[in-house]
Structure 1
Amino acid sequence: MAVRVRDMMTTDVVCVQAGASMRTIALVLGRYGISAVPVVDGERHVLGLVSEADLMHKLADGDGTSATADRTKRSAVTAQRLMTAPAVTVRARAEIAEAARLMQEHRIKRLPVVSDPGELEGIVSRGDLVKVYARPDPWVLERVERLLMLEFELPHVRAEVRDGIVTLTGRVRLRSSAVAVRRAVRTIEGVLHVDDRIRFDADDLSPFALHTD
């Protein structure tokens, strides 16, 4: 089963309203030891994100030559004007690979997690995603074996796990079954790599495979 953002996110999220002052934001960041805070409206829809970097624009000395966005942040007195908007968010039901891609693409360390209607549900950080790779081998092996027996019903396929690397051995009838097993195992939390050594009797994925009705 694929790991979802909702499985890794922090649900006790600190947030501020759009009208929060810069002083309030600074106090919130300092009190909770965080580097950014989501800005929400009255219905907890995420409007933007205020980070320490945004606050730095207020501390920087302007010479009148900065970009319009920088000048706006330097003159801001509320979260609504100081925040970076629109915020990059991720759905709670998304796979963690999607969260990692967004963080990498936008060069950010955390993502507000929202429901389908866009309401704030949590927040996920790079540190949360890294925890996926810290699962012990016995924990991973148990889930791989459960997958093989219950979902694929392949008692002749065996699995070994060492340092997060899963080695699959055994034999199946069709190559497509081996491919499906490999893909499913790769989605299990804690799996770093799959060494697929499963043999098959027929290559039903070959363009030369014969199909009969």
Structure 2
Amino acid sequence: MDIADIATTDYIELEAESNVGKARSIFEEKNPKGIIVTRAGDYEGVLTQKQLLRSHIEDHTKVDTLTKSAPRVERTDNVRDVARALVEGGTKVAPVFESGNLWGVIGQDLILEAVLENLDTLTVEQIYTENVVTIAEDATLGQAINRLREHGISRLPVVDDDGFLTGVVTTHDVVEFATRNVEKTTRGDRSGEGDRLLDLPVYDVMSSPAATTSLGESVRDAVERMLDSDYSGLVVTPEDDDRVVGGVVTKTDVLRALSYTEEDVMDVQITNVNLLDTLTRESIRESIAEISDKYQKMQVRHAHVRFHEHKEKLRGTPLIQCKIRLRTNRGQVAGSGEGYGAEQAFSVARDKLERNVLEVKGVESDREYEGQLLRKLGEL
């Protein structure tokens, strides 16, 4: 299926010289997945709601200061390649070109709607993300925003004092709540009002109850619910207790699964590839393969490496966070780390991943030993 079969020529375009306040209004009124930014009719990049949330820029600032590059998609590209491009570009929308000219846009939802009937073969358990970041009900809105920025994520399951799921707060919830409340004040009061909003508890902002799914549900059913309700993700809970956060599954997770390959070599997917400096996809693949080869029983089906840039810098080199997640026949194994530059961050994350892989190996070796011991005792 070519992407031209599902892309759209109906999109929101904004001139690069427009101010950020106008962009905020567009997101509030029309809730698009992204805005295509142009300059004198030529494509410049994209602007997303998440970028606005992460910024402290005043409304009068020009849009081009927040414009982000996005993968350029051709009308003849196939769905798998475009799904991978969106994930690795860390964006939900991308421009579609024909003969060098901007023709339309493609986004997550359009792809998922087109492949929905093919998602019955997958279950949530096969693609979801474990060990998610959560936040307490009594944490402040400011703390929630910082956590979303710090981890480069768009949603936080909210838990009570006992650790039970009570709701979820997303970037969209934060932007909508802040915009709605600040507009109630006069211009002169906005600075103080903004400070007061940041001190409000997450409980006042979160959506409750949280939309959930279970490990055994088909990805098709989960995605249908996301599309119907305009959710970007669902909280995953155990079959026997929907009060406990077991993970999350997002539209991005589904796109990542769509781009899995059947290659003989390990399939490695990298989010925010633009942050790579001296690293290459092949060097990352070889490094991860070295770890998996140390434990032959653990077959790595897919590796996801995600880079996230912090504002802090050391002699001009940004602080980078790297997260590595392996999907294996023994479950998920992950490692994360930070460093100045992608290479250092990847090295720290790789070392943590290797320790976690060896820990899995040790636990399974202990279980094998216990099983052998029990069998011998049974023979006495």
TM range (shorter): 0.5 to 0.7
Equivalent pair of 2:142/2:199 in contact (CA under 8 Å): no
Q: 1:9 to 1:78 in 2, by over 3 A?
A: same
1:114 maps to 2:237: yes
1:89 maps to 2:212: yes
Which residue of 147, 153, 163 corresponds with 1:28? Answer: 147
The residue that corresponds to 1:102 in the other structure is 225
Once the two structures are superposed, the pairs formed by residues 186-205 of structure 1 within 5 Å of their partners are none
Letter in 1 for 2:178: K
Secondary structure class of the residue paired with 1:14: coil
Once the two structures are superposed, the pairs formed by residues 45-194 of structure 1 within 5 Å of their partners are 45-56=164-175, 57-60=177-180, 61-63=182-184, 77-116=200-239, 117-118=241-242, 119-136=244-261
Q: 1:134 to 1:42 in 2, by over 3 A?
A: same
Letter in 2 for 1:25: A
Paired with 1:132 and 1:16, the residues of 2 have a C-alpha distance of 27
> 5+ residue gaps in structure 2?
1-119, 186-196, 265-380
| TM score, norm. by length of structure 1 | 0.55
- RMSD in angstroms over aligned alpha carbons? 2.4
The residue that corresponds to 1:156 in the other structure is none
How many aligned positions are there?
Answer: 130
Deviation at 1:14, TM superposition (A): 0.3
Secondary structure class of the residue paired with 2:246: strand
Runs of at least 4 residues off by over 6 Å: none
Larger relative CO (CA 8 A, sep 6+): 1 or 2?
1
Structure 1 or 2, whichever has the larger Rg, is 1
| TM score, norm. by length of structure 2 | 0.32
Equivalent pair of 1:55/1:82 in contact (CA under 8 Å): yes
Paired with 2:199 and 2:208, the residues of 1 have a C-alpha distance of 14
Q: 1:23 to 1:2 in 2, by over 3 A?
A: same
